[in-house]
Amino acid sequence: MLAATVARKSLAQIPREEFRLKTALIDVDNFVESAKCAEKNPERQLELLDGFVTLVTQGSAPVDDGRFAGFVESFAESVPFFDVPHLELALQLLTKLDEIKTPYEANYVDLWMALDGECLKRVTDWDTERLLHFADLWYPLRLAKQTKFVNKALWKISNRLRKLPPRTLVKTVFYINLTRVPMENMMDIEVNFAQNFDSFSIDDVAVLCMGFFKTETPIRSAELLDKIYHTTIRHVATVEDIALTAILKLLRYSSRIPSVPSMEALLDALVPRVPSLSTFACLHVALLGSDIHLCHGATLKPVVAKFVDNLSELRLKDMERIAFVLAHYNTAFVSGKDSILCTRILEDLPNRITEIVTYPRCYISLLYFLAIRNVYNVDYISAAFDKQFLKLAYKKNLPSAGREAVSLDAYACINLRDRYDGNRFPANAFQIVCKLTQDYLPNPKYRLTKSDRMLLDIQRTFGELRPGSTELCRIVHLLPHYQRPDILFCWDALSKRLLDVNELLPEQSTHEIMTREAVLRERSKERPLRLVAIVVGSWNCYVRNMKRRTGGYAMKLEQLRRLGYEIVEIPWYEWPVYSQDDMLKYLRSKLVAYS
């Protein structure tokens, strides 16, 4: 792994003191007797530690054997008298205990915590080089995340991140990545990264990228992002899978619209690499453009074909992610491989029970993304909404469920209305989740997004088309499991007039699915009454450069139609933003059927 490679390189540079320990081949009882009368000087305690390690590694006794308690206590008491070489050797000896099941096993935990405490005391006296040297000694023990020393050392080093030499910066970020503790001044790392960019190898770039990703810190400099894109393109033929994956993760997390050309260039360069990449690296190639809706068919198609042939290599999490990509991009490959993959994923779920129990939320999200592709199994959906399974997934906090859970429930309710009679997501929790995940209705008194402004412009223009009718249409969440609201009006085809929807709808949102019956109530059987939803398609409702609806947005339109609404779709790229006259002309043409 990349992390192990970096650590090995670091350890190879560590100057080691030579100690000659005279540890005789003894049994446990002799060791215990010897430890009782041993001096508490560092050299003697290190000899005993060597003997302890030898006995454990040879299988003479388990590490948590109670007979070692006296030695462990004596060793811990002597640690404050260790100098730097003694601490180094003690940590090196502990690395030989490679059969440790948990860092908190009796005896072992007391040994490493005593060393951790002493290293911690010396943080203020040690310089950056020595701090990182000792972090390298803790790394093989797989205790870097648990030790207080490493965290404190990183905190001290963080005060001079901008001035660190390139090699030292890489090592520091490696441990930030390992501990997943973001520094308050991650911006200093970004500045250093940019200033010394040409000094870093592609593996160094990968370590730095992973440090930002693991601490959930995006890179803000567009110039630095472009440098990362271009250096990855230059090394695309030789960069290792793990390093490439680390870079792709950060690029996806940090990239915004201005990065589209660089992202397309990288994806073009990756096309010949896909056959030789691991499935995990391929997954992140497929995910790269998902946040900014950039679907790159030349890489996605071979990735999907590879997954079809190697489904057993995918984890449940990987299945959920690739299902998200295919649902999000609303793909329809000529080969049909995208649909084949979704079907095979569904068929493979009975073989993934252990993973499903371990990652129940992932299972629910996977079912939802497959449902967007109209690939489903009613028994699997019912199992997901079983009370015990929901408790496993969300404990006692059902309102913490995300949009995927309520959207899957809405799919069962709307799309499978005549075919589904299984378990449902609890109604009260459904309403709370919807309330927490949907946008507020736009209010001109507050800051507006472009989508908010577009909704209000359409509502105002609607009123100008039909003087006095501004109040006859209303911005409302018809499908509460979707983030964005729509504009609703009711057209009476017999009288050729608009009904006041404010008289039909409750004053406050109920966060329930607004069926025709819920809106019109006793008049819902009157066929001439036509409920019309004006749906604004903002930029994130379409795949970039294709004007193809995303899967989630296409599902929204389908569900509205299934509920009896007529749809007037207004894509963002058609709406004439800057001219009121053009707005009137455009909306008049869209509403010609209701005049």
pLDDT band per the 50, 70, 90 thresholds, residue 16: very low
Mean pLDDT, residues 557-561 taken together: 98
State pTM to two decimals.
0.89
Q: Which of 292-301, 446-455, 521-530 shows the highest mean pLDDT?
A: 292-301
pLDDT digits (tens, 9 = 90+) for 112-151: 999 999 999 999 999 999 999 999 999 999 998 899 999 9
Q: Give the residue carrying structure tokens 């018809």.
A: 478
Helix (H), strand (E) at residue 245: helix 241-254
Q: What pLDDT, on the 0 to 100 scale, is given for residue 322?
A: 98
pLDDT digits (tens, 9 = 90+) for 80-122: 999 999 999 999 999 999 888 899 999 999 999 999 999 999 9
Mean pLDDT, residues 34-48 taken together: 85
Q: What pLDDT, on the 0 to 100 scale, is given for residue 6?
A: 41
pLDDT digits (tens, 9 = 90+) for 196-214: 999 999 999 999 999 999 9
pLDDT digits (tens, 9 = 90+) for 379-427: 999 999 999 999 999 998 999 999 999 999 999 999 999 999 999 999 9
Q: What pLDDT, on the 0 to 100 scale, is given for residue 26?
A: 66
For residue 491, give the nearest of 542, 533, 452, 460 by alpha carbon: 533
Q: What pLDDT, on the 0 to 100 scale, is given for residue 503?
A: 86
Q: What pLDDT, on the 0 to 100 scale, is given for residue 14?
A: 37
**Angle 247-249-251 (CA atoms, 0-180°, nearest 5)?**
70
Q: Is 305 helix (H, G, I), strand (E, B) or coil?
A: helix
Which residues are CB-neighbours of 58 under 8 A, at least 6 positions away?
none
Are 132 and 172 a contacting pair, CB within 8 Å?
Answer: yes
Are 401 and 368 a contacting pair, CB within 8 Å?
Answer: no
Mean pLDDT, residues 362-376 taken together: 98
Average predicted confidence (pLDDT) for the chain: 92
**Angle 522-523-527 (CA atoms, 0-180°, nearest 5)?**
145
DSSP sequence for 182-231: --TTHHHHHHHHHHTGGG--HHHHHHHHHHHHHTT-----HHHHHHHHHH
